[in-house]
Amino acid sequence: MACALGLMLAAGCGGSEDGLAPAAEPAVSPPLAQRPAGRVIPIGNKPEGLVADPETRLLAVGLTNPDLLALVDMDTLEVVRRIPMPESPRHLRLARPGGPVLVPAERSDQLVEVFLPGGRLRRTGVGDFPHDAASDGRGRVFVGDESGDTLSVVEDGRRVQRLSAPVQPGGVVTSDDGGLVSVVGVSERALELFDSRSLRRLGKIDVGVGPTHVVADGDRFFVVDTRGDGLLEVLTEPELRIHRRTPLPGAPYGVTVDPARKRFWVTLTETNEVVELTDRRRLRSFPTVRQPNTVAVDPVSGRVFVASRKDGTLQIIEPPPLGEG
């Protein structure tokens, strides 16, 4: 695959024998230079993967060795339940408000659905090394099988379809109405779009020099280009295309959307920061815990959560109104 798009940085296109680059990874974060903003509490070993449910008021946190899903009350900050997982979770999403939590359990080749608030599990066999998953909100779940280069389609606890995907699918998300599915191949450095109902392919484009994570805002998709230090806005109409690139120096990695406040939050793993943005400009940043690979936001309160994979802690930030603090 050639180095394409004028918006790419001059980072080169090195890669493997098949011409594809290795997947981008977060930076190895340096020791803290500033005290983290807000409050920091212990949560468990190597937390990575966060998702906040506004209905049950629970924050799900993925933990490793032992492999657990911790459920945290977002109002009291107490851990109310720790649920054993078949494998360490890294990406978490909600199927819909109220749950279940979608947990791709990578080395077990399973999708685990964790029903809230009680923690009942449903396991479904999927493809090779499932890494991310997203729901259309109507019962259909799409799972990116990172080592299989496939997209598994799951309904009612059964895999009903398997689609080819961009090489090493590492990020999967659906549009807000559930009608579109976006899959980022982190090695191919491409985003492919599918119709969630017909499963028809709608297009594929290059996205940066080292894309990792993707989120949706309406029918727009925002891709974190970790190696390229930017956030890419991808439009789907009238054609699939990159519309804007917002520079984010510092190896951006984790990303979440606050739909109520029209804000994006992106972690910078090279500088131990989390950045608040609109869809087109950077607003401000906050110092974080070390190795901030994952971020989530409570859409009710606007409270921001950042996990430290290095220190086993959870950071809670209450962003003051702009112009204050």
What are the pLDDT digits (tens) for 135-182? 999 999 999 999 999 999 999 999 999 999 999 999 999 999 999 999
In the predicted model, is pLDDT for residue 125 greater than 80? yes
Six-digit token string for 272? 């131990």
Say what the pLDDT of residue 322 is. Answer: 79
Say what the pLDDT of residue 18 is. Answer: 56
Q: How far, CA to CA in Å, does 151 sit from each of 70, 163, 236?
A: 27, 5, 20
Q: Report domain extents, the chain.
A: 29-46+253-325, 49-252
Token pair 């933990």 is found at 63
Beta-carbon-side half-sphere exposure of residue 237 (alpha carbons within 13 Å): 5
Six-digit token string for 63? 């933990």
Q: Which long-range contacts (CB under 8 A, 24 or more apart) does 161-167 make?
A: 161/199, 162/127, 163/194, 163/199, 165/192, 166/190, 166/191, 166/192, 166/204, 167/20
Six-digit token string for 317? 């930030």
Model confidence pLDDT, tens digit, residues 216-264? 999 999 999 999 999 999 999 999 999 999 999 999 999 999 999 999 9
Q: pTM for this structure?
A: 0.93
Cα 7 to the center of its chain, rounded Å: 23
| Inter-residue contact 174 to 161 (CB < 8 Å) | no
- Which of these CATH numbers, 3.30.70.1400, 1.10.599.10, 3.40.50.720, 2.130.10.10, describes 49-252? 2.130.10.10
**Helix, strand or coil, per DSSP, at residue 108:** helix
Counting residues of the chain whose pLDDT is more than 70, the rounded percentage is 93
In the predicted model, is pLDDT for residue 183 greater than 80? yes
* CA 195, 196, 200, 201 torsion-angle sign: positive
Say what the pLDDT of residue 13 is. Answer: 32
Six-digit token string for 269? 């793993």
Model confidence pLDDT, tens digit, residues 32-91? 999 999 999 999 999 999 999 999 999 999 999 999 999 999 999 999 999 999 998 889
Say what the pLDDT of residue 153 is. Answer: 98
- Which of these CATH numbers, 3.40.50, 1.10.1660, 2.40.10, 2.40.160, describes 29-46+253-325? 2.40.10
Overall average pLDDT of the 111-117 stretch: 98
Q: If you ran DSSP here, which 8-state letter would residue 107 be given?
A: G
Overall average pLDDT of the 4-16 stretch: 34
Say what the pLDDT of residue 325 is. Answer: 52
In the predicted model, is pLDDT for residue 7 greater than 70? no
| Inter-residue contact 178 to 137 (CB < 8 Å) | yes
